[in-house]
Every structure is written in structure tokens, then in C-alpha cells.
Amino acid sequence: MTIHSLLQLLVVIEECKLTKNVVVELELVLRSYKFDFYGLLRQPRPNVDIANFILAGRWPDNWPRTYASKRYLLVDPVARHLGRAQRPFRWRDAMIALKGDPLRRRMEQMMADARANGLVDGYIFPIHGRNGLLGSMTIGGDAVDLSPTELSLFDAVARKAFWRLLELRDEAQSLEEAAKGDINLTKREMEVLNHLAEGMTSIEISKLLKISNHTVDWYTNSIQDKLKARNRQHIVAIAFRNGLIP
């Protein structure tokens, strides 16, 4: 399969009138590149079934059950690295980036289970908007080496498919709306806010951002003041309501 197929896919997706057609065209190109599995989804919210945020996807038969039963979402290195990544990256790069993480053993077990289910390696493409991370597309199966050009084109395909599916589901406008009110958070405050929304504690956030838990509490108090929130739960509720986190 050539780079031309990716360029053609960008045009075809825009012309699709049904969500199923977008999925069919996307899967044809993914299979031609030997990517047997993929997921295209909006960024999940805490305490909500991840299935509610999946726009399209295909996974090994037993993998979703294993992933849920072993609570791998809490340690998934790809999902954790996605929260701070600005560009596409390979799954194995997430393990390298989190080399000294205290949850390393659990992450290695998760990746071993993934390989046993046919998920040897893959790539993930973050999709950002004005309010931060909106979603992502992940593709995987056997190890496939993409050229820098192919990686860039897959990144464009991820964004195009993401927004086209939302448009066809009449969900794009609500996601594109700017945050209400005049709430100005710093970059670091936004990072802390997103991790709070994931249900992480101050200690967990401090380890992830490599700052003290007292500094995390300081940022949290600043966010709470700016949002006029009563507590951490109220912070997350207000942030979702105002579109600060997707």
C-alpha cells in the first residue's frame, strides 16, 4: 500500500455521507498496512463506561474483557503517556517514557497480555482542540514500521475521521464550542486539572509531573479559586460543564 492511499482516504472520508462508510474506508486502508486492530474515540470521562466514547474500533475478541477485568485503564502506559503527548507516538515509546514509574511491573504485565492477544505494537495519534485533548486514534497488531511521511498522513487521517464521524452523528458542534466564561488557567493548572478529572490523587499527580504533592495542592487550590469550586469533585464538575476538559 502506498502513501497515495492515505492521501486518497483524506478525500474519501470528507465525501462519506454515512458513519458506516467512514469506518469501511478507514478499515480498508488500515488492513492494507497490516493493522488488524484500531480504536477511534473521544477522550473518556472519569467514572463513565469507556464504551460511551468509542466512535469506531476493532479489538481482539478477549482483549476488552481482559482490559476491564484487570483494571488496566489505571496503569495503561499508552493512555497515561497520551495525556501529556502532543504528537503521535509508538506504543513501546510510552514504556520507555515511563521507565522509572512505580507502576512499571503492572504496565509490563499489561503489555504482555496485550501481545498474547495479538497486540504486539502500534501507534497512537492524539487529537487536540482549544480545550486540550479531545480524543485519539490508536492502530496496532503486528509490529509495523511507518515512515515519517506515513506517520504524518495517519495523523491527518485520525483527525479527519474523528471530526467526520462526529459531524455525521451531530456531535461536532458541542465539542467545538469554546469554554464559557472568562476562566484563565495556566498550562500547568490545565495539566493538573486533567489529571484530577482522571481521578488521580495529589501524590499520583506529583509522581507523574515530577513535582511535590504540596505543589500539586497549591495548583489545585488555585484552580478551585478560579472556578469558585467547593472541593475537588466540584472542580471537575465545573470544568466539564464549561468545556475545560472534554
144 and 204 share one domain:
no
Domain assignment of residue 182, yes or no: no
Q: What confidence score (pLDDT) does residue 45 get?
A: 65
Domain assignment of residue 246, yes or no: no
CATH number at residue 94: 3.30.450.80
pLDDT < 50 stretches in the chain: 178-181
121 and 159 share one domain:
yes
146 and 61 share one domain:
yes
Q: Which domain holds residue 122?
A: 3-176
Domain assignment of residue 28, yes or no: yes
Q: What confidence score (pLDDT) does residue 44 get?
A: 74
Domain assignment of residue 198, yes or no: yes
Instruction: Please tell me the number of Cα atoms within 13 Å of 99 on its side-chain side.
Output: 3
122 and 207 share one domain:
no
127 and 193 share one domain:
no
Boundary (domain end) residue, out of 176, 202, 229: 176
57 and 167 share one domain:
yes
Domain assignment of residue 228, yes or no: yes
Set of cell numbers at residue 112? 504482555
194 and 123 share one domain:
no
Work out the angle at residue 37's Cα, subtended by the Cα atoms of residues 100 and 168, and round it to the nearest 5 degrees.
Answer: 110
Q: What confidence score (pLDDT) does residue 181 get?
A: 47
Count of domains observed in the chain: 2
Beta strands 89-90 and 37-42 are unpaired
203 and 139 share one domain:
no
38 and 110 share one domain:
yes
Q: What confidence score (pLDDT) does residue 172 get?
A: 85
Cα–chain center distance at 88? 11
Q: What confidence score (pLDDT) does residue 24 get?
A: 97
Q: What confidence score (pLDDT) does residue 182 get?
A: 54
Contact of 42 with 55, CB cutoff 8 Å: yes
